[in-house]
Structure 1
């Protein structure tokens, strides 16, 4: 079985859906941001602050190369910009978790740990800038995806069921 790669804008629920899907399917899950944080021994926010975006994107490419060579039958949740790596479709089946910007923002703001969720995503401090990035990336996510899964307004259980069905697992 191929890997499953979840892509989508920050805050759409890639990690949450990945954990639920893995538990339901008894699969192993990896998160590309977690891998980079382990490699760097610091948070993504600290990596961006100290080294900048170009350095971080190079780390993502390094992780993508490792995943394509060494990881099989795994669900991989990704950071919001990971979809830009060159070999994405060679790693596995790409699933775009699609939601409106407003839906993502509402999901974050209504979460019990909303402050933590926002702190982890400093880009949302400037909503206009975040919306502009969302508008730029949305069609690119769609283009990279093998499967587009609309997640807005759906329960995690419903999303997991639909994902399972769409993947024919």
Structure 2
């Protein structure tokens, strides 16, 4: 049995954090939750609507509240996060930080090849302008790399391969 320490999945939007989380729970004793889903439940509206109606600053404050709650209330859980959640100051206190990494063009290709591509792009307000999204990716990637306890390159791997690699590396990192 693995420790009660949480696993926090970070990485750019669309890299596959939710997909990998859903696969990991099939092969482990972890529970899973998604920070964006928690925020949508708290606000009773979709992330895109929060950005439009309340602004990004309000959204980031909600992320901070969720991070505080996770630190004190959640154990033995795999937590998939929104693309900017990594900026929470208490992230390392919440658990082991695992970066799912892939080049920007591969992330966009992955999203566009998904059966629900239109819906996946529409729900991500920061991906509406790909040129701006690329700048954001270039800004965030070094920060992701610096923060990660474990890095998994997801580029040429299936979700199953990524989940097995994640569990093996977390076990070795414990």
TM-score, normalising length: structure 2: 0.94
Deviations 1:43-86 (A, max 9, x none): 11111111111111110000000000000000000000000011
Q: Report how far residue 26 of structure 1 moved.
A: 3.6
Q: Report how far residue 23 of structure 1 moved.
A: 1.6
Moved over 2 A (4+): 122-125
SS at match of 2:78: strand
1:14 to 7, 13, 17: 17
2:160 to 154, 157, 161: 157
Gaps of 5+ in 1: none
Q: Specify the alignment match of 2:78 in structure 1.
A: 75
- For these two proteins, the number of residue pairs brought into alignment is 169
Q: Distance in 1 between matches of 2:162 and 2:33?
A: 19
Q: Distance in 2 between matches of 1:5 and 1:51?
A: 26
Match runs of 1:8-47 below 5 Å: 8-47=11-50
TM-score, normalising length: structure 1: 0.97
Q: Specify the alignment match of 1:110 in structure 2.
A: 113
Gaps of 5+ in 2: none
Q: Report how far residue 153 of structure 1 moved.
A: 1.5
2:61 to 37, 44, 58: 58
Q: Report how far residue 123 of structure 1 moved.
A: 2.6
The Cα RMSD (Å) is 1.0
Deviations 1:78-100 (A, max 9, x none): 00000001100000000000000
The answer to whether residue 128 in structure 2 is matched with residue 144 in structure 1 is no
Q: Distance in 2 between matches of 1:123 and 1:64?
A: 21
Bigger mean CA offset, 20-29 vs 110-119 = 20-29
Q: Report how far residue 144 of structure 1 moved.
A: 1.0
Deviations 1:109-155 (A, max 9, x none): 00011111111123323111000000000000111111111111210
Match runs of 1:83-94 below 5 Å: 83-94=86-97
